[in-house]
Chain A
Amino acid sequence: MLTVIDWIYGTTQLAAVFLSIIAGLIAISMYRHTRKHLELAPWNYLIIVLVFFAGIEVLGGLAVFGVYRTPHLTHVTASVALGFLIAALIRKIQVTKGWLE
């Protein structure tokens, strides 16, 4: 029997999965702009981070509902996303210093 807390947890997980997919779609829609401007180069990496984050959320949601559980894949996806975030930050620092002009 599910408790109220379980229902709340399930609802928040579903909301998180839904919103992360929306975030991923918004990020992909920004790709067109980032190709035009050189100073938006860090967003190329950041878009990949957000798409990976959507993947992490989907995997987390599947694990919570007991559909598919892969602890190693969740961690590896997070590592890849963090790697791209580091690349995006380095690129943004270069832009902020004016090195890409």
Chain B
Amino acid sequence: MSEVTQALGIVAPWYNLAMVAVVIILFIHLFRTHRKTHLGHIKPWVLLFVAVLVYVAEAVFTVLRSSQVFDLPHHVNGYFELVMIALFIYALLSEKEYLRLREEWQHLPIAQSKKASAPSKKVSPKAAKKAGKKKR
């Protein structure tokens, strides 16, 4: 193993940890902003945030195992990865479904979409009779 490779192996987990901290802060900022503005589809991002938290848990368990504080079996890492990938796939499919629904709504004819969006008004029988007389 060359010296550069060794150095990268030592340093990389630490700056990865710093980047994960930045990612978590940005996620919290995103959720706060969305709570104020309600713009865009946020569900896939919530799923991604959960996946990042699972990644952090896996990293913490790896560090605890390497420092011999808490020895979690190796095969549990596989479960963590499966959970993360399942969340990623769910996020992607959720966004695809959202796009499909949005495109369907955009392709609706204007009259039909107005009908769908207009609130239903109840007309009293008297008002209906008056309207009929006026027409005559």
Interface residues of A (CB under 8 A from B): 5-6, 8-9, 11-13, 15-16, 19-20, 22-23, 26-27, 30, 33, 39-40, 43, 46, 50, 53, 57, 60, 71-72, 75-76, 78-79, 82-83, 85-86, 89-90, 92-93, 95-98
Q: Identify the 3 closest CB pairs spanning chains A and B, nearest first.
A: A12-B78, A75-B12, A9-B75
Choice from A5, A90, A98 contacting B37 with Cβ under 8 Å:
A98
Q: Given B23, B34, B37, B85, which contacts A85 in the complex, CB threshold below 8 Å? A: B23
Q: State whether B85 touches A76 (Cβ < 8 A).
A: no
Residues of chain B within 8 A (CB-CB) of A9 are 74-75, 77-78
Shortest distance between the CB of A86 and any CB in chain B (Å) = 6
B19 touches A83 (CB 8 A): yes
A89 to B42 Cα, complex, angstroms: 12
Which residues of chain A are near B85, meaning CB under 8 Å?
16, 19-20, 23, 53, 57
| Contact pick for B75, options A12, A72, A93, CB 8 Å | A12
Partner of A16, one of B16, B45, B82, B96: B82
A26 to B95, CA, bound (A): 11
Interface residues of chain B, those whose CB is within 8 Å of chain A, are 5, 8-9, 12-13, 15-16, 19-20, 22-23, 26-27, 29-30, 33-34, 37, 39-40, 42, 45, 48, 52, 73-75, 77-79, 81-82, 85-86, 88-89, 92-93, 95-96, 99
A78 to B20 alpha-carbon distance, docked (Å): 10
A15 CB contacts on chain B under 8 angstroms: 78, 82
Q: Are B95 and A96 in contact (CB under 8 A)?
A: no
| A11 CB → nearest B CB, Å | 8
On whether the beta carbons of A72 and B95 are closer than 8 Å, the reply is: no
Q: Is the CB of A30 within 8 A of B92?
A: yes
- B33→A97 contact, CB < 8 A: yes
**Which chain A residue lies CB-closest to B15?**
A79
Across the interface, B29 reaches (CB within 8 A) one of A20, A75, A93, namely A93
For the complex, what is the distance from the CA of A72 to the CA of B85, rounded to whole Å?
Answer: 22
12 CB < 8 A contacts A-B: A12-B81, A15-B82, A76-B8, A82-B23, A85-B23, A86-B23, A93-B29, A93-B30, A93-B33, A96-B30, A96-B34, A97-B33
